[in-house]
Structure 1
């Protein structure tokens, strides 16, 4: 017998031992529970005391049996009793049964509907009262009546107090559940009075907006949030106090996070309910998708033009080449050569446009930042003249980190910035590359030079395609490609004038690479047998012992039976309805190091869910790529 069943049996046995009869009816006046004393006191048949018995049918049975004496209209009497019961009001009454015995009936409503009634045999008490009334000639009838009224009132008051205590208990439990729910949500939930003072808040404000007051209740919003966030939120609060709801986003400068805030007016108090969420990762993903869509649209527009223009250039080059074979005047050879050079330059420009607008995806891999910067300095210095130096420095100690980066795209972008700085220095000057962490959310690569800086016109158009200050020597695509790479990564790039010359800041999301996975028992989940074989051989070559599954359900069973699993590598799309994402979620936060594989595009909703859960290895991949994800061979 289960603990619950045992407790129920013990409770019922205890109720059967008490001297009072007890019944509990629900809000539909159906019997929920009665004890054995109830059956004995009224000599009732089984159907009356069975759970679910109708209250009206029970009253009709007792009336027809003569329990209430002579009743002329049985239907009206039953209806009266049922209406009284449906009022669900605390009551106490005494009546004499058909067998001459007296009982008291004390009823109390239940908080969720229905009522509980207790029946007590008071025959002995009644006899004593009659004896006392007969012997006590000095006790006035008025005093006795008042005493009885007081006793009745006390009983009603006791029933009401009991009901209030039960209601208080349920309200306390409900408040505790509500508080737990608000604490579990990954958002800041609060209420602010019309004076902008916090009257309620869960404990998430400092995690959503770092630097905020941890316990804001009783404090003014400016004191809780700080100057910059308060200056943004305050106008929206004023509109909320005026009864206008709003949803807005803003950059939380103290933490460099993106925050979404929803304000809902509280019509009863004049205050405002606040819901705040950290949407930094969502914003990074959104920026990536927007840039991808822009590039796709640009590619569609450019491809047709580039095709026709390429054909025209081909004709021009062919015609000019044939002209060189003719006997031309002396000056004509120079003109033909210049035309050929211009046409070839136009072809190179078309290729660069195709590179910028083509469907090129970023493929971040675990990259040691220190090795990357060391090799980049060697590469960049070969492009600089003797009079221009390059210095790479760090703040907040990022060098020791291993990050998820597309090293090739980052290298090309930084090299573009270095070359622009070199040209600005005009043969003599200094270039600095400063790498710094920002609030453990971003990593900044800041390239500055000692040149003349940007003009106002250049600052307004610096990232526009084809804009250049180098005349015929520049294509105007270098910084546009840097902008494209930053947006695809979910970051941003900004240009400004520094203390001396120009300064360009490339900000990327800080995504730490997973810790290296030591050789151990690996769970490989893949429904394609050929791919499963290839990946198994890659894992074995790294020293892992491999067990295999083809579905989420099969993998979960293996994980339950084998607690020593050191690595989970799963495809996103598997046999059955459950995905590899479902597998990692069901394994929970204490799962071993886990990675997902897929050939889905980055715009697919499943891919977007996956990258928030675990590192994603794009198919097809080589053993070297898998080694870099698992930490066995991290490239620079």
Structure 2
């Protein structure tokens, strides 16, 4: 129930004040200390939707609260409680500012301030539009922030992609640089000479090998003409291929040039670069050094020649030894029969012997020469024995004196005591001979070749020869020739390496000598400097020769026991000499010209005790095959083979094929050597 309103005032000033308040766009109310309405304006009524009936001076504050509560601002049963709560708050009024949203959706800002005489004044401001604008602004800000966030994310993503692209580009650039460096390294290190020449015969590219191969003045190839780079002599050899390549034809060829004082060879292929329209822009050059290949080919040809010489030597040795057998046999027989000459004149015998003895010595030197040729020509395993180095060097010095040019002098220092080394004598002779021939080539204008040997005890200096410390025999070959520089000295033992012109040396001599010496348990050291000559020192294991018992008395004084001997030899002159030697030794002899005839005689003459047969014979049955037949069909017969040349490995014996060893006597032989061989053959049969 409302309190009665106060009487209206007709004071014009109040009317004007009210009119002024009504013009405000903010609502205003003033309540006194008793919480009764003192003043208000129309905007207040409109903002809070109060009826004009409440807008009366003296209206209690509680009526306004109750009016709102009854309009449904508070739930049922809560109206009086809310009124009481609001009145209590108003009674102890505190300044405040709060927002309140009306049921119609309007937002009001309430600001209350206490009055000096108690009571309070409240200002009501409609901030709906402001809040809408703020909300809209906030929404727009949120949208803007979202767009900015999305755009920032896009920019960050773009920046990340750009960074990745830059990183990938840098990685690709680095990989491309590495690839170019690798390609350049490959082009510069592969053993192929690569270049490119344009249509004007001017180099546009050359790898390092190509530039070093020609080494033009100034060291620059690119931008220079072909004749200027390769030189006139080489250009004369390659002019036609170059013209063909510029005409669009791929061509290969070989040429030679002087490089660092030696002749070198190269093989080149020119590959033209042709446009789709058929125009030749230039050509690529792909070349490689074939000097070593040429040398290997020359060495192979030389080896083939040596093999052919070896085979030829073997065949000639048989015939030559047959000739020497006849010569030595006849001279020896003549010498043996001189005391029985009819004249009986000792002076005549001495005069005849003066001619016979040199002929015999020469024939025996021929035998040694043939043995040496066979040693050089045949491939055979090492047969080490105690070699007297003094005797070997003395013998070789005589041989070399006849082989070396006159301006080269030979000196020796062989020591006062015999010095023996354990080595294959044939291989050792070959090695020393090779050293001497190299020394000859190093002294084209003459000089001194010095051969020496001495015993040495190696301790800390054994490493220089690559051997263990111990007692060795040292063999030294010295010359005062041109010497070798460090690069040549480092490759001296390399197979096929040689400083000689192509065709004048295979480069195998020192390599083979080094292999032989190491295989023998020794080592080689070379000391040389340009212009100061070369010293080659070879150490071999020192040894002592075996002591042999005194030889038995000459079998010539012990005639045979009358055993019947079958002599099988196709050469009638040799057969006559051997027959005479057998007869002189006391053996009855029957003769056969070949193996087939010998088999027939063996079958018909059971008294034959021994067969002396040549190894190489015509008729389809050689001496070794004959020995096999005898061992299989005539077990009571013995066989002795004689040969001017044989490749049997039995070291004086041939295998019969049935486990028995057949002795072999080398031609030519003396009567005494034949007697010993016969004695050994009969002794083995009795045992």
TM-score calculated relative to the size of structure 2:
0.32
TM-score calculated relative to the size of structure 1:
0.34
Give the number of the structure whose alpha-carbon radius of gyration is greater.
2
